[in-house]
Amino acid sequence: MALAMLSLASVSPSASLSLQENFKTNWKSGTSSLINFLGSDFSKTKSYTRTSMTVAVKVSRFNDITMAPPDPILGVSEAFKADTNEMKLNLGVGAYRTEDLQPYVLNVVKKAENLMLERGENKEIPYHLLDLNVLYLPIEGLAAFNKVTAELLFGADNTVIQQQRVATVQGLSGTGSLRLAAALIERYFPGAKVLISSPTWGNHKNIFNDARVPWSEYRYYDPKTVGLDFDGMISDIKAAPDGSFVLLHGCAHNPTGIDPTPEQWEKIADVIQEKSHIPFFDVAYQGFASGSLDEDASSVRLFVARGVELFVAQSYSKNLGLYAERIGAINVVCASSDAAARVKSQLKRLARPMYSNPPIHGARIVANVVGSPELFNQWKEEMEMMAGRIRSVRQKLYDSLCAKDKSGKDWSFILKQIGMFSFTGLSKTQTENMTSKWHVYMTKDGRISLAGLSSAKCEYLADAIVDSYHNVK
């Protein structure tokens, strides 16, 4: 037991005796008292200069653990909930909302779950009636899910699918899939560095730090143009050690919403091949960015068509709204089927002590939606609807900014960005004004989630942005 020594001193005999009487009265527990605990000799001891006693106190073994800082994104929601202002807006978390700013459960997900219930696959079935063969999924996840998710990403007729050159393992959404791949890099590519865009999603650096994989940044965002610093990006990728991993956002770059053009993707691929780098795609918004599953996978397929080995992490949080189901996958495209089989075996080996095996419900939803032509077509329609609503509020926000800002500032960068986020270019102090004065909650880097904005609130948001940009330095 760790102990701390408590010393009590007094300035006079009477104060000393009074203090002792106070402990005699208040420190009793059952039939024992503090005096009994300390011994009878203590109670008889008098000192005209000092009275001392020693009390055993437990000291936590965890005293040296410091308080972790709040999550920069999830902490925004906590602050939003505490705000009572009726005009408040939560533009921090990237979660889709309806025009009424309510959470949205896709109709196709409801249909898939009803279908699962009819088939006896739903998690709401009493435990004793479940198929005992599926109480645990295999380490690699649900086979039907792994099949359709790889086909959705690369195309069912892609040669890498036909030749079984893709190692696919179901992961705990995008975060878990990234983390599993990071563990593979740490174990089998010791010392290899991962290049990460500046800026990037807030959790990327955490993931590689925890996996003990070194990383550095490549230039991506140009604050002068509020656009892509393409020359800086190419230069930094060229300067990296040969054989580095390059983390790329497959579509709808988070947090900027700025994507390379098809021609720029070709040049990025040229440099990566010249340097023998390994591309590592994070695809969190397939179908949700443009409304087209194929268009949003075009960057990945470009590299695959060139015969490049690569990693791709997938998530179904956004495009199917399965935020809480934690469903995603890690895919590794290899030069041969033999290599893919070995990579998959090692991914499973890493997953086993990490989380053992993944959950089943979200995997079954995806497998049913993608595996059914009827549900698949309905899903594509709903994705286009969601992407269309975000494009609509993006346009209205731009129109409102142009109408309210008479300074001549060019706000067209908002229309050039894609996906659920917009990078406003606001500084940290300006974002603080957005929150303290206008009750608009957003991340400190100036990112706003258009998925949490309604058409009715666009003018109010424009007022807040114009005020913060021009009146706060």
Q: Cβ(363)–Cβ(137) under 8 Å? A: yes
C-alpha 473/C-alpha 407 separation (Å) is 16
- The reply to whether omega before 353 is within 30° of 0 (cis) is no
C-alpha 455/C-alpha 395 separation (Å) is 10
* CB neighbours of residue 100 within 10 Å: 8
Q: Is 27 a catalytic residue?
A: no
DSSP for residue 315: E
User: Which helix or strand (DSSP H or E) is residue 33 part of?
Assistant: none
For 353-407, the DSSP string reads HHTSS--SHHHHHHHHHHH-HHHHHHHHHHHHHHHHHHHHHHHHHHHHHHHH--S
Rounded CA separation 266/424 (Å): 28
- Return d(Cα 111, Cα 372) in angstroms, integer: 11
Q: How far apart are CA 63 and CA 242, in angstroms?
A: 44
CB 359 within 8 A of CB 142: no
Candidates 148, 153, 472; CA nearest to 332 is 153
- Distance, C-alpha 270 to centroid of its chain: 30
User: Could you tell me how far CA 79 lies from the centroid of its own chain?
Assistant: 19
6 torsion bin: left (phi>0), alpha (psi -120 to 50), beta (else): beta
Indicate which residue of 229, 282, 379, 411 is catalytic.
Answer: 282
Interior CA angle at 205 toward 203 and 207, to 5°?
70
Say which of 193, 236, 259, 318 is annotated catalytic.
318
Q: Which of 111, 193, 201, 396 is catalytic?
A: 201
Examine the residue annotation and report whether 318 is marked as an active-site residue of this protein.
yes
- In order of 202, 379, 443, the CA distances from 71 in angstroms are 9, 32, 10
> Three-state SS for 342?
helix
Hey, what's the torsion of the CAs at 81, 84, 88, 89, to 10 degrees? 10
Tell me how crowded residue 4 is: count the other CB atoms within 10 A of its CB.
10
The two three-digit tokens of residue 304, written as one number? 């695959």
Give the C-alpha distances (Å, rounded to integers) separating 367 from 158, 162, 323.
19, 19, 16
- End-to-end CA gap in the chain: 54
Other C-beta atoms lying within 10 Å of the C-beta of residue 46: 10
Task: Calculate ∠ Cα 26-32-34, nearest 5°.
Answer: 50
Q: Which residues are catalytic?
A: 201, 282, 318
